[in-house]
Structure 1
Amino acid sequence: MTKPKVLISDKMDPNAAAIFRMRGCEVDEITGKTPEELKAIIGQYDGLAIRSSTKATQEIIDAATNLKVIGRAGIGVDNVDIPAASAKGIVVMNTPFGNSITTAEHAIALMFALARQLPEADLSTQAGKWEKNRFMGVEMTGKTLGLIGAGNIGSIVADRALGLRMKVVAFDPFLSPERAVDMGVEKVELDQLLDRADFITLHTPLTDQTRNILSKENLAKTKKGVRIVNCARGGLIDEAALKDALDSGHVAGAALDVFVTEPAKEHPLFGTPNFVATPHLGASTNEAQVNVALQVAEQMADYLVNGGVTNALNMPSLSAEEAPKLKPYMALAEKLGSLVGQLTTGSIPRISIHTEGAATELNIKPITAAVLAGFLRVQSDSVNMVNAPFLAKERGMEVREIKTEREGDYHTLIRVSVKTEDGERSVAGTLFNNSEPRLVQLFGIKVEAELAGPMMYIVNEDAPGFIGRIGTLLGENGINIGTFNLGRREAGGEAVLLTSVDSAVPAAVLDQACKLPGVKRVMALAF
C-alpha cells in the first residue's frame, strides 16, 4: 500500500515531520517556494501542511490533483481558499486552540506594561536619564478587569487576573450565568463594563456585531484613566478615536498587538504617549509554535491514514456510509443555526434541535453539530462542526436533541429553537426534492425562503404599500433584488420579509429602511 505523501511548505517544528513519518506518511519539508514553484510540485502530494506564508489559492488548489487535506498550523485560514478546496473535496483543518495560553499571557504582559509604563521606563533608563519620579505606575491588585469576550482565551485571561487578585467583569452575549459563576467573573452588559473597568481586554473575533465595539461613543463611556489591551483582532477598536482619547488623557494607556491594516509599519498611534505596540505576537512563543505544529501533523496523519476528521473547517465528523445522506441535512441545519444566531441577541442558555419525519432516521449528531457551527460562527471565526459542541458546552449552553418520527406538514423537518430573555424562538426548514434546503417557518410565521448569499430581514406591520416602498428604496440605492419572500401572522398583523440581494445592503440603506412607516426591525443577513 502506497504511503500518503505530505508537503510541509512553511517552517515548522521538526517534530511535526517526525509525527507524520511515525504515523505512516512520507513527508517532504520544502519551504520558501514561490507560488509558481509550489504549483509545479503540489500535484505529487496528498497533504499540504502550512502556516501563514504559503497561500493555498484557487490556482494552487487547481494544480493539486491528488491533494486530500490542507492543514493550517494555527487558527487563521485567510491564506486558504476554502470554497475552492471544498469544491474539490479537499478537507481544510486548523488548530483553533493551540495558541490560547500564549495569546492570553501576552494580554496579561501588556497589562503589566501599561500599569508600570515599562517600555518608556526602559528607554529612559537605557538612555542614562534615571527618571525615577517620572514613572508612577498603578497596582493591578484590587482593580477591575473588563473582558469583552469570555470564550477560550478570555477565560484564561480571567483565571490569571483572578490570581492577581483583580475583580473581573465580562461582557459576552453567549456567556451564561452558570458559566460566569464557574469562571469566577460577573456577567455584565457592555455599558456596565465600560463604566466600571480599570483595565479592558478584548477577546472576540471581528464580526459585523463586534466591529468598532470600542467606538468613539463607547470609548467616551469608559472610566477615566482606563487602560485598554487588544490582542484579538484589528478593527475591534476605532483607532482614530483611541488616539484622541489617549491625547486627551481620558484613556490612561493602550496596548495593541493587532491593527486594522497589517503590517502596521506606519500608524497615527505610533509615538503617542502611553501607547504600547507589538507586531502581532499573540501566538509567538516557542511552546505555541510547537503545539500547533504537532497538532496539525497528528490531525492530518489521522485523516490520511485512518480517515479520522478533527478540527475540519469544511467537513463534519462522518463515516463514509453516512456522508451522502447527511450532506443536504447538514447544509439545512447549518443555515438554520446561522439564521437563529444572526437574529437573536443576549445569553442563550438552551438550544434545541428537533427532527421530524425522515430526518429522525439519520444520525442526529452531525446535524446538531452543523446547527451549533452555524449558530456560533456568527460570534467566532474559529468554529467548525467538530469543535462547535465543545464550545457550546464551554459557554454553558444546554443542547437538546428531540426526535418526532411522525410526519407533519412536511415529509422531513428540522426545527431549531433557542431560549431567550423574550421566551422560546424557533425556525424550521425542510428539503425540497430531498436535496434543496428551504426555510419554512420563522418565529412562528410561515415563510418559504432559500437562505443563500446576502439577504435583508424586515419585521413590519402588514399594511398596503409596504412592498412598493421597500422595493423603491432598494432600487434607488442600486440594490438588485434576487428573491422576495413574505409571511404574516394574520391580515393587518405582524409580517416578515426575507429578500435576497445581489450585494450586501449598506448600513445607510438599513437606516433608511428602519424609518419607513410600519417597520419594526431591519437587519442584514449573510449565508
Structure 2
Amino acid sequence: MAPKVLISDKLSPAAVQIFKDRGCDVDFLPDVGKDKEKLAEIIGQYDGLAIRSATKATEKIIAVASNLKVIGRAGIGVDNVDIPAATAKGIVVMNTPFGNAITTAEHAIAMMFAVTRQIPAADVSTQAGKWEKSRFMGNEVTSKTLGLVGCGNIGSIVADRAIGLKMKVIAFDPFLSQERAIDLGVEKVELENLFKRADFITLHTPLTDRTRNIIDAEAIETMKDGVYLINCARGGLVDEIALRTALDSGKVAGAAVDVFTEEPAKENALFGAPNLVCTPHLGASTSEAQENVALQVAEQMSDYLVNGAVTNALNMPSISAEEAPRLAPFVKLAEQLGSFAGQATETGIKAVRIEYEGDVAEMNVKAMTAAALTGVLRPLLQTVNMVSAPEVARERGIVIEDVRREQHGAYENYIRLTVITERQERSVAGTVFGDQKPRIIQIKGINMEAELGENMLYVTNEDKPGFIGQLGSILGDAKINIATFNLGRKIEGEEAICLVEIDGELPETAISEIEAIKQVKQAKLLHFAGQ
C-alpha cells in the first residue's frame, strides 16, 4: 500500500508531482493547515505531513496522528513543530536547511543599499511630490568595511557579493578557520575588533543563548559613530530598545531589520525611528527559494517513506534499520564526546580528528563522525543535526579527519575525539561496555571512567590537598546534590581532572566560587541532553 501524504500548506504543483512520481498518494489541501480542528480530524489517515509555516504541528495534533511517520518543513525554521512530541512518538522531523541561502543573502545586500541610500523614505517623499533631493544624502558602500557576524552558508554568500561591490569584508565566526577565511577573501577577526572597525554590520548567525542580544547597548557603544546595522537572520540577536536609542542619538546612522523579537511585529520599539528600513521577515521570500525548498522537502519525505532514507532529519540519525541496534550506542558515544569537546572549547576550531579503534572501526564510521560533529557544533548552532553537521563544518573550513585502526589497547572498542584550535589540542575518549552504555575513559590524556549525566561539572585543577573539600562545601552551600564524582590525574601533584554529575542547575555564583579556589585552572558546567 502506497504511503499517504498530506500537504497542508501552499507548495508548488511540481512538489506534488514529485510525491506522486516516487510512489506516494498525495492530498493537496493548502488551506487545512490554518484550521486546527480540521487538521486534527483528518491527520490520522496520513503517513507524511508536508508543511510551510502556516501549519502548527502541535503536541495535540501529533497526539492524534496515529499513522504519521514524518513531518517535512519546506524551509529551515521548525518553530511550528513540537519536535520533542514528535520524537517521543517516533515521528521524524525534516527541514530543508540550505534552500533559502541565496535569497536571504540577497535580501541582506538589498537592505544594506536601502538603508544607506534611504530608498524607502525617498520613494515616499518623491511620490508625495516633495522632491527633497538634499534631504536624502546617502553613502557609498565601495571601499567600506562590512562586518559579518556569522560566516556560514548565508554569510559566505553575502561576503562574495560584498567583495564584488569592492567592499572590505571582515568576519567573526567561532567555527571559521583561517584557511576558509582566505578562500572566501575575508579577514577573520574577533567580535570586539569587528565592532570597532566595521562601517556596516550584518548578522548571519542562529539565535542561541550565546548569541541572544549579541548587539546590545554595550556592543553599540564600541562601534564606529555612524555605523549601519542589518539583521536578516533572527529576531532576538539585537536588543531592540538599545538599537532604538542609538538610532535616535545618531550613534547608529541607520538600521535595516527583517526579523523581530516578536513576530508578527504589529508594534515594536524600533518603529518610527529615524533611518529605519523594515520588512516583514522576507529573507526567504522569492519564488525561486520557495520552489527550491518545496521540491527538496518532497524528495526527502518520499525517499524516507518509500525507501527508508533519512536526509536533513532534526531528530533522527542517518542510520539504516539493519545496523541500528549495534551502532546506536556508539553513535550516542560519538555525540557525547563531541558535545563534551564543543562545550569545553572557547576558541575557533581548525580541525576535528576522530580515531576509531577495534570493532567500531568496521562499523558505519560516517554516521558516528556526523554524530560527533553534531555534538561539537551544537553549543553554538542548536539546529544542527547529523546530516547538516558535516556540511556546516565544511562551510567553515573545519578539517575533518577520521582514523581507523585495529585494537591495540585494553578496550575492544575505543573512540577518541580531538578538537584542534588555533591555541591547543583537546582530546576526549570513550568506549561502550557490555551494558551498551557509553563511558568517558580519558580526558586530555588523563584516565578516568565516567558516565555523562544531564548536568556535569568539569574542573581542571592542580593535584594538591584541600581542593575536594572546598568543592564539596561550595556545592553543599548551593544545595546541589552530587550524583557521581570522578577523579583522574597523570602524575601526583600535577594537573588533575574532576568530573562531577550534579542534580539540578548550578548557580553562576557557585561557578565563580569554584573558579576562585586556588588549585582550580578551569571550571565549566556541561549539559548533555537526553541522558
Corresponding residue of 2:235 = 234
2:274 aligned partner, one-letter code: P
Kindly provide the CA deviation profile for residues 381-440 of structure 1, in whole angstroms up to 9, marking residues without a partner as x.
342212222222222222111122115232211110122223322101111335211212
Which stretch shifts more, 506-515 or 122-131?
506-515
Which stretch shifts more, 150-159 or 180-189?
180-189
C-alpha contact (below 8 Å) 2:151/2:172 kept by paired residues: yes
Kindly provide the CA deviation profile for residues 183-233 of structure 1, in whole angstroms up to 9, marking residues without a partner as x.
111112222212211101111112233223223322222122111111112
Kindly provide the CA deviation profile for residues 450-474 of structure 1, in whole angstroms up to 9, marking residues without a partner as x.
3342333333334444344444444
For the residues of structure 1 that align with 2:68 and 2:62, how far apart are their CA atoms? 8
2:3 aligned partner, one-letter code: P
For the residues of structure 2 that align with 1:241 and 1:447, how far apart are their CA atoms? 48
SS at match of 1:301: helix
2:195 is the alignment partner of 1:194: yes
Unaligned stretches of 5+ residues in structure 1: none
Measure how far apart 1:476 and its partner are.
4.2
Corresponding residue of 1:403 = 404
Corresponding residue of 1:435 = 436
Q: TM-score, length-normalised on structure 1?
A: 0.94
Corresponding residue of 1:162 = 163
Write out aligned runs for 1:85-484 (5 A). 85-477=86-478, 479-484=480-485
Kindly provide the CA deviation profile for residues 310-366 of structure 1, in whole angstroms up to 9, marking residues without a partner as x.
111222333332222111111111111111111113332221111122312312111
Q: Aligned in 2, Cα 1:474/1:237: closer, same or farther, shift over 3 Å? A: farther
Q: Aligned in 2, Cα 1:296/1:109: closer, same or farther, shift over 3 Å? A: same
Measure how far apart 1:56 and its partner are.
2.3
1:319 aligned partner, one-letter code: S
2:19 is the alignment partner of 1:13: no
C-alpha contact (below 8 Å) 2:407/2:413 kept by paired residues: no
2:4 aligned partner, one-letter code: K
For the residues of structure 2 that align with 1:423 and 1:120, how far apart are their CA atoms? 51
For the residues of structure 2 that align with 1:365 and 1:32, how far apart are their CA atoms? 37
C-alpha contact (below 8 Å) 2:460/2:520 kept by paired residues: yes
2:14 aligned partner, one-letter code: N
Aligned CA-pair RMSD: 2.2
For the residues of structure 2 that align with 1:219 and 1:523, how far apart are their CA atoms? 29
Measure how far apart 1:147 and its partner are.
0.7
1:15 aligned partner, one-letter code: A
For the residues of structure 2 that align with 1:239 and 1:409, how far apart are their CA atoms? 57
For the residues of structure 2 that align with 1:78 and 1:449, how far apart are their CA atoms? 35
Corresponding residue of 1:77 = 78
Corresponding residue of 1:26 = 25
For the residues of structure 1 that align with 2:125 and 2:384, how far apart are their CA atoms? 44
Q: Aligned in 2, Cα 1:299/1:525: closer, same or farther, shift over 3 Å? A: same
SS at match of 1:349: strand
Q: Aligned in 2, Cα 1:47/1:194: closer, same or farther, shift over 3 Å? A: same
For the residues of structure 1 that align with 2:431 and 2:194, how far apart are their CA atoms? 42
2:276 aligned partner, one-letter code: F
Measure how far apart 1:29 and its partner are.
2.2
Measure how far apart 1:33 and its partner are.
5.0
For the residues of structure 2 that align with 1:139 and 1:48, how far apart are their CA atoms? 47
For the residues of structure 1 that align with 2:35 and 2:483, how far apart are their CA atoms? 41
SS at match of 2:349: coil
Measure how far apart 1:54 and its partner are.
2.3
2:116 aligned partner, one-letter code: A
For the residues of structure 2 that align with 1:78 and 1:497, how far apart are their CA atoms? 38
2:454 aligned partner, one-letter code: G
Measure how far apart 1:39 and its partner are.
2.8
Unaligned stretches of 5+ residues in structure 2: none
Q: Aligned in 2, Cα 1:277/1:453: closer, same or farther, shift over 3 Å? A: farther
C-alpha contact (below 8 Å) 1:204/1:379 kept by paired residues: no
C-alpha contact (below 8 Å) 1:414/1:430 kept by paired residues: yes
1:8 aligned partner, one-letter code: I
Q: Aligned in 2, Cα 1:459/1:350: closer, same or farther, shift over 3 Å? A: same
Over the matched positions of the two proteins, sequence identity in percent amounts to 64
Measure how far apart 1:507 and its partner are.
4.0
Q: Aligned in 2, Cα 1:462/1:219: closer, same or farther, shift over 3 Å? A: farther
C-alpha contact (below 8 Å) 1:75/1:382 kept by paired residues: no
1:11 aligned partner, one-letter code: K
C-alpha contact (below 8 Å) 1:455/1:504 kept by paired residues: no
1:5 aligned partner, one-letter code: K
Write out aligned runs for 1:482-521 (5 A). 482-521=483-522
Corresponding residue of 1:37 = 38
For the residues of structure 2 that align with 1:36 and 1:509, how far apart are their CA atoms? 49
Measure how far apart 1:281 and its partner are.
1.7
2:377 aligned partner, one-letter code: L
Q: Aligned in 2, Cα 1:239/1:494: closer, same or farther, shift over 3 Å? A: farther
Measure how far apart 1:486 and its partner are.
3.2
For the residues of structure 2 that align with 1:478 and 1:279, how far apart are their CA atoms? 47
2:176 aligned partner, one-letter code: L
Which stretch shifts more, 481-490 or 186-195?
481-490
